[in-house]
Amino acid sequence: MYKRILLAYDGSESGQKALLDSHDIAQWSKSEIFLIAVMPSPTSTYVGLDSGAYVGVYEEEEKQKYKDILDDGLRRLAEAGHTARGEVLVGDTVREITAYAKKIDADLIVVGHKHLDSWAARWWRGSTSPALIEHAPCSVLVVITR
């Protein structure tokens, strides 16, 4: 039985489907839901004072974007009658998800995944799901959309 479900939410169509599926599982198993949005670490280099200021503004805008994504997910869960806790994390997606799952002692991690038709699109985008499955400390549910 799942008691703690961690949902890595990005606001995408597949993420929204994962959110609904995790809500259904949580209601069925009377689980707690933890919602996270993972913002990639800024990779820009600081060349001078002007660029440093620009990167700082960009980073704040990005943090707000991920906070808005998180708030959207929390709102959707609340509308469905489920209370969840949420947090924006910054760093490598797989590393942050697995570390948070360990921190909360999650029984299940839920992520969305969109199948891409083009081999070039699949190669360019990469995929978090296989790496997450490899490193997760618990079961992983990958909710697929096409």
Average pLDDT over residues 136-145: 88
Angle between helices 13-29 and 49-79 (to 10 degrees): 40
Annotated domain spans of the chain: 4-145
Name the E strands within the chain: 4-8, 32-39, 84-90, 108-114, 139-145
pLDDT at 29: 77
Backbone phi, psi, residue 142, to 5°: -105, 115
Q: Provide mean pLDDT across the span 65-81.
A: 91
Query: What's residue 90's pLDDT?
Result: 93
Q: Which of 82, 78, 95 is nearest to 131 (CA)?
A: 95
d(CA 107, CA 137): 8
* Between 87 and 127, residue with greater pLDDT: 87
**Total residues found in the chain within this entry:** 146
9 pLDDT band, cuts 50/70/90, is confident
pLDDT confidence of residue 118: 53
Per-residue pLDDT band at 123 (split at 50, 70, 90)? very low
pLDDT at 93 over 60: yes
Just give the CATH number of 4-145: 3.40.50.620
